[in-house]
Amino acid sequence: MNLPKTPSFNLQGKRALVTGAGRGIGLASAVALAEAGASVTLTARSQHEIESAALAIREKGWLAESKTLDVTDLKAVEAFIQQSEPFDILVSSAGGARHKSALDVTEEDFDFTLSLNTKSAFFVAQSVAKKLIEHNLPGSLITISSQMGHVGGPDRATYCASKHAIEGFTKSMSRELGAHNIRINTLCPTFIKTPLTEPSLKDPSFKAYVENMIALQRVGEIEDIMGPIVFLASDASALMTGSALMIDGGWTAY
């Protein structure tokens, strides 16, 4: 009997770019990819954080380097990607939030959130895809979206708008990039314990609301996204594109 062979999760020989890699989900993604064998470039505005993170990864015997980069500086992003060897894997994790009532959101709040979360993610993906197509290479592009890209949430109108938009361009780009064997998907976490969510989760009533909305009744840890990142980056998800991988503990099942 010829048994089927499980696709490999090994990323040896692959080059990965991770934005927002200084902390939280971005850092966890970089570690997971490096541990799986990829050579990882960590980028963020915080030079000290990504240099320290890259050093710690190398001390584990894995491959990592850092590049200080502001993803909202689209010309700098494009120049960096153009002068680099193609990246087989992209994890676009840079992002932010200004949570307030929709009635209190200012134009500056709106522009900040959409520029950082959506506009930068779109153009990073575009630049990485262009370089892959130029070299006739396949690739896996992953954007860190959110459960809030599929539902609404109190005081999160602009954040939800930014993440719903990511889901939209991911579906559209998958239709265009599929012919080049480039896959693009989103990873959609629930509330994960990170520096970004820490202020909200310090409020006992809000934390109770969050845990009540999650079927597994716990806030996520950054380790919860590491396996899914490797899955999306690897051949194990070879037929997956234009999709959202929900890591939400059951929030959107309600």
Domain boundaries, the chain: 15-253
Q: How far does CA 181 lie from the centroid of its chain? A: 20
Mean pLDDT value across residues 9-24 = 97
- Fold of domain 15-253: Rossmann fold (3.40.50)
Mean pLDDT of the chain: 96
Q: Is the pLDDT of residue 254 over 90?
A: no
pLDDT bucket at 196, cuts 50 / 70 / 90: confident
Q: How far apart are CA 202 and CA 167, in angstroms?
A: 29
Q: Which residue has tokens 């503990």? A: 249
Whole-number Å distance between alpha carbons of 55 and 24: 17
Q: 249: left (phi > 0), else alpha (psi -120 to 50), else beta?
A: left
Candidates 44, 45, 64; CA nearest to 54 is 64
Amino acid at the residue 1: M
- What is the percent of the chain where pLDDT is above 90? 96
- CA–CA separation, 139 vs 16, rounded Å? 10
Report yes or no: 42 and 64 within 8 Å, Cβ to Cβ: yes
- Tens digits of per-residue pLDDT, 151-168? 999 999 999 999 999 999
Position 251 scores a pLDDT of 97
Give the rounded distance of the alpha carbon of 65 from its chain centre: 18
Burial class (CB in 10 A: 0-12, 13-18, 19+), 134: exposed
Which positions are annotated as active-site residues?
Answer: 159
Tell me how far apart the alpha carbons of residues 35 and 55 are, in angstroms, rounded to a whole number: 14
Res. 200: pLDDT tops 90 = no
- Output the CA angle 173-45-232, nearest 5 degrees: 35
Residue 55: pLDDT band by 50, 70, 90 thresholds? very high
